[in-house]
Structure formats: structure tokens, C-alpha cells
Amino acid sequence: MNKIASFHPGLWLALAVVAAIGIWPIPAQDAALREVSFTVLIAIVMATSLNVLMGYTGYVSFGHVVFYGLGGYVGMYLLNDYHAPLPLAILAGGAAAGLLAFLLGKAILKLRGAYFALVTIGVNEAMRTFISNFEPFGASTGIALQFSVYGAYGGAKQALWVVYYTIVGLALFGVLASYLIRHSKFGLGLMTIREDEDAAEVMGIVTPNTKTLAFVASAILPGMVGVLFFFKNGNVEPGDAFRLGVSIETLVMIMLGGQGTVMGPILGALGYQRLRGFLLTSPIFKNAQLVVAGILLLLIVLFIPAGAVGWLRQRFAWLRKVLA
């Protein structure tokens, strides 16, 4: 934070990790590796964006997936019903998510602590049940893309790579944004709110606006990623778009890596998804995947609540410069 122009090892290390994950499948054009990286990158975007609200601002949301789901739906609707080009659909998905956060923000961010967490569960369920009834979005059956839509991107196979390159870009952008926010005046305001919201108000932070801005900032990328995921998937349904479990998994990733740091959510997302991938494919754990994940989460919560990166930063002060 000291010198604007100085070398930022924390940023470069974070970007390098994400870039490495992103580039890994590209030289060999390996579709299986691509799927692995794709899942990890989506998790990185989700965790990094939620971290702005949870890690920097101190508001724990169980409804992060709402933005992903709504963005996905808006994008799919435009792609399917209006044959909108993918970039436009992605932007529209992000805008819709940001708009929802803006509209909700002032109202629900009044609630603190567990009440905020509860209302976000309510928002997620209200959205899911509403979309299940909303005819333009296909009600309970959702929206399935016609195969011809992929023609514009050189067929389905090519389209998958287009989606992949886009997600790599979004993940890099997300990490950059997370770093810039953390080291900005806005970020200092958010962390002040996290530490003591009443004191923050007395110090002159316009808390309702600052919190709403953080909420909007955390919503946009999930909205964009939702479009990519469901475009790749070919269809979107209410149950997939607004799965409460996704929000909670994202929280787990942040806890695993360390909340409030830039690197934490990246490592948490990578660790969680790799572990999950291993459990799902392992013959022993295939059926016990949820159990193992639950035990892992419990152990983190009980024994290292600061997460891996937080723990390292506490233990080794010199790491604070590198692990931003």
C-alpha cells in the first residue's frame, strides 16, 4: 500500500498461479485437462468475488450463487430467444447480476451478522422458486439452447475452447480486480467496516453506499461466469442455477484458503476442486465424497479458522508481502 509504483509480488504471484492453471491444457489442446481447469477457474472467480463481500467487508452471504444463476438465465435467454452474440450475453448477465445486487443491497445489507446470512438464503430460495414459475425463462424446465447456436463459434467443439479462453480471461481479471480493491481507498473502507462498522460510520465512511458497492462488485463476475457455464452446458434449470450448495462450497473454499486475502480464495478454490475431483473419481470415496468434504470443513472451522493463507501469514510475517 505504501508506494503505488512499487513492485507487487502478491499480485504477480496470484496472477501467475491463475495463469498457470489457465494455460495448462492449452498447448496440448487436451479436452479432459481443459474441463479440470475450467471447473477450477470458475471456482476461483466465485471465491474471489465472494471474498470481496465476505473477506474484505465481513458480510457472509449464503446467496452468492443467485448472481451466477440470474446471470446465466439472462444470458441464455438472450442467446436463445434473440440469438444475441455471446460477448453481449456475457455482459448482459454481469449487468443483470450487478443490478440485482444494487437493488437488494441497500435493503438487505442493513441486517448484520447471522440475520444477513439468513436473508441471503431467503433471497436464493425466493429467486429459485420464482424462476421456476417464470414463463419467459421456461419455468421449471428452464432454457435449452438449440444446437445451431454453437454454429456461430465454429461448432460445439470450437465453442468449448472459446468459452474456456473467456473464463481464463475473466479469472485473471477477477484476481486483478480483487487485488486492486484490496489496495485501494475503497478497500480500506471495506476493511474498516469489517473490523467495526459503527466506528467506520463515525470515521466518515458512508457505510450503506460502500457496502452496496462491494455487493455489486462481488456480483458482476459471477453473473458473467454463469452465462459461460450454462452456454457450455447447453441448458439451464432452476435447480442447477440456484443451488444453495454452490454458495456454501464457495464459502468453504474461502475458509480453506483464507478470507480477506487475495491468494486465499485462489488456493482454496484450487484445493477444494482438486480434492473433490479426486474423491469423485476415487473408487473408495466416490460415495463418500460429501462426507469427506464435510469432515474437512469441520476440521478447518474447528482448528484453522483463518484458513491456510491466513495461518501462514500469522505464522510467518515475512510472507505477508508475497501472500497478499
Partner 1 sequence: MTHILEVDRVGKRFGGLQALTNITFNLEEGEILGLIGPNGAGKTTLFNTINGVYSPEEGTILFRGKNVVGHKPYEMAKMGMSRTHQIVRPLKDLTVRENIMAGACFGHENHNLLAAGRIADEMMGFAGIKAKPDQLAGSLNVAQKKRLEMARALAAHPKLLLLDEVLAGLTPSEIDGMIKTILDIRKQGVTIIMIEHVMKAIMNVSDHLLVLDYGQKIAEGQPEEVVHNERVVEAYLGDPNMARRLMEEA
Partner 2 sequence: MNPGGILTSLMDGLLIGVVYGIAAMGLTLIWGVMRVINLAHGAIISLGMFGVYLIFTNFGIHPYLALLLVALAGLLFGMLIYYITIARVINAPYLSTLLATFAINMIFIGLGTAVFTTTPRDAGFSLGNVSLGPVTLQGTRLVAALVTLLVTGGLYFFLYRTRPGKFVRAVANNRAAAELMGIPSARILALSFGIGTMLAAIAGGLIATFFSFNILSGDIYQQKSFIIGVLGGLGNPVGALLGGLILGALEGLLPLVMPNTWVPVIEFVLFIVILLVRPSGLLGGKSE
Per the structure block, which three cell numbers stand in for 90?
Answer: 456475457
Per CB under 8 A, the segment of 42-50, 124-132, 219-227, 313-321 that binds partner 2 is: 124-132
How many residues contact partner 1, by CB under 8 A?
23
Q: How far apart are CB 2 and partner 1 at their closest, in Å? A: 7
Residue 144: strand, helix, or coil: strand
Task: Map residue 28 onto helix, strand or coil.
Answer: coil
Rounded CA separation 159/94 (Å): 20
| Residue for grid cell 447480476 | 97
Q: Which is nearer to partner 1, 124 or 207 (CB)?
A: 207
Would you count residue 290 as binding partner 2 (CB under 8 A)? Answer: yes
| Contact status: 113 vs partner 2 (CB under 8 A) | yes
Residue 206 interacting entry, from partner 1, partner 2, none, C-beta within 5 to 8 Å by type:
partner 1
Tell whether the torsion through CA atoms of 311, 184, 10 and 318 is positive or negative: negative
List residues bridging with 144 in a β-sheet: 235
Q: Which of 313, 288, 250 is nearest to 120 (CA)?
A: 250
Helix (H) or strand (E) holding 14: helix 9-23
Choose which of 198, 302, 317, 318 interacts with partner 2 (CB under 8 A): 302
Size (the chain), residues: 324
Q: Which is nearer to partner 1, 145 or 191 (CB)?
A: 191
Q: Could you say which of partner 1, partner 2, none residue 201 binds, taking C-beta under 5 to 8 angstroms by partner kind?
A: partner 1
Stretch that binds partner 2, among 94-102, 105-113, 143-151, 210-218 (CB under 8 A): 105-113
Among 88, 99, 297, 319, binds partner 2 (CB under 8 A): 297
- Among 17, 33, 111, 176, contact with partner 2 (rule: CB under 8 A): 111
Q: Least separation, in Å, of the C-beta of 73 and partner 2?
A: 16
Q: How far is the CB of 199 from partner 1 (least distance, A)?
A: 4
Choose among partner 2, partner 1, none what residue 288 binds, the Cβ cut-off being 5 to 8 Å by kind: partner 2
Sign of CA dihedral 45, 47, 48, 51: positive
Least Å distance, CB 271 to partner 2, is 16
- Of 12-20, 86-94, 117-125, 214-222, the segment contacting partner 2 by CB under 8 A is 117-125
Rounded CA separation 231/87 (Å): 11
Residues 285, 277: Cα–Cα separation, whole Å = 11
**Site map (CB under 8 A) of partner 1, residues 188-207, x = contact:** xx-xx-xxx-xxxxxxxxxx
Q: How far is CA 317 from CA 310, 313, 322, in A?
A: 11, 6, 10
Q: Strand 235-236 to strand 143-144: parallel, antiparallel, or no bridges (unpaired)? A: antiparallel
- Look up residue 248 and give its amino acid: I
Q: Which helix (H) or strand (E) holds 156?
A: helix 155-182
Residues that bind partner 1 (CB under 8 A): 1-2, 4, 184-185, 188-189, 191-192, 194-196, 198-207, 260
Residues that bind partner 2 (CB under 8 A): 60, 107-108, 110-111, 113-115, 117-119, 121-123, 125-126, 129-130, 132-133, 140, 248, 251-252, 255, 287-295, 297-298, 301-302, 305
